Amino acid sequence: MEDLDHEYKNYWETTMFFQNQELEFDSWPMEEAFSGSGESSSPDGAATSPASSKNVVSERNRRQKLNQRLFALRSVVPNISKLDKASVIKDSIDYMQELIDQEKTLEAEIRELESRSTLLENPMDYSTRVQHYPIEVLEMKVTWMGEKTVVVCITCSKKRETMVQLCKVLESLNLNILTTNFSSFTSRLSTTLFLQVTLSLSPSLISLFGNVITSTNYKILNASREYCTCLVLV
């Protein structure tokens, strides 16, 4: 019995008969798959109960399976210090912990990046952008003049990027701007817009009021299509 054991001895560290790494191998077809050890029944030939001989081969398979799994584990972990069974498991644990930690780190980084970029990633989205530097509208007046011309007068307090904000809103609405004037004195920014509007553009115009106004808790008093005067109050 011992003589024929020797040939597949020490396979753990060296040969490891089975080289399949593909982890998916649940049905184990290896009954007597390996080398040529003791055959089906009574490997010794004598002094063994026939009932236990089945147990022997079954146990062999079990061991083999476990070793196979362990080997597969070893192939997944990049840095194995020692080839011990115990060390393999230990290194795997360490590596897994490392992965888990890194996952948390990466997720945190993503949250960080996302929260930072959502404010900026859509430069046309006024409502998100404005949270940083809100436009404080003091007065707004819109007048429909003649055919397709609209004059919009906006007075707001002058802060950082107020002009940029306003430009963003205007451009995002696809208004057809003829001419714009920004004038600032003391701490106020006065804006005068001459717009060329078509019928399809009037929703944009309403949207403009909406955007600016909702962000400052003001409200539209009068916004009909023909003549639109918005006196914005606190």
Instruction: Give contact residues for DNA (rule: CB under 7 A).
Output: 1-2, 5-6, 8-13, 37-38, 43-44, 48-49, 52-56, 58-60, 62-67, 83-86
Contact partner at residue 2 from DNA, a second copy, none, CB < 5 to 8 Å by partner kind:
DNA
SS3 per residue for 126-147: HHHHCCCCCCCEEEEEEEEECC
Of a second copy, DNA, none, which one does residue 145 interact with (CB within 5 to 8 Å by kind)?
none
Q: Minimum distance between the CB of residue 234 and a second copy, rounded to whole angstroms?
A: 26
State the minimum distance, in angstroms, from the CB of residue 96 to a second copy: 5
Which residue lies nearer to a second copy by CB, 102 or 214?
102
Report the partner that residue 117 touches, choosing among DNA, a second copy, none (CB closer than 5 to 8 A by kind). Answer: a second copy
The one-letter code for the residue type at 57 is: V
Q: How far is the CB of 228 from a second copy (least distance, A)?
A: 22
Among 57, 72, 138, 223, binds a second copy (CB under 8 A): 72
Q: Which DSSP string do the residues of the chain spell out, in sequence order? A: -HHHHGGG-STTTTT-S---------S---SS-STT-S-SS-SSSSSS-HHHHHHHHHHHHHHHHHHHHHHHHHHHSS--S---HHHHHHHHHHHHHHHHHHHHHHHHHHHHHHHHHTTTS-TT-HHHHTTTS---EEEEEEEEETTTEEEEEEEEE--TTHHHHHHHHHHHTT-EEEEEEEEEETTEEEEEEEEE--GGGHHHHHHHHHHHHHTTT---S---SSS-------
Task: For residue 7, state whether it binds a second copy (rule: CB under 8 A).
Answer: no
d(CA 179, CA 183) in angstroms, rounded, equals: 13
If one asks whether residue 93 binds a second copy (CB under 8 A), the answer comes out as yes
Total binding residues for a second copy by CB under 8 A? 53
Nearer to a second copy, 143 or 174 (CB): 174
Binding partner at 177 among DNA, a second copy, none, C-beta below 5 to 8 Å by kind:
a second copy
Beta bridge partners of 190: 155, 183
User: Binding residue for a second copy (CB under 8 A) from 8, 37, 90, 125?
Assistant: 90
**Residues that bind a second copy in the complex, under the rule CB under 8 A:** 23, 62, 65-66, 69-70, 72-73, 76-77, 85-86, 89-90, 92-97, 99-100, 102-103, 106-107, 109-110, 113-114, 116-117, 120-121, 123, 160-161, 163-164, 166-168, 170-171, 177-185
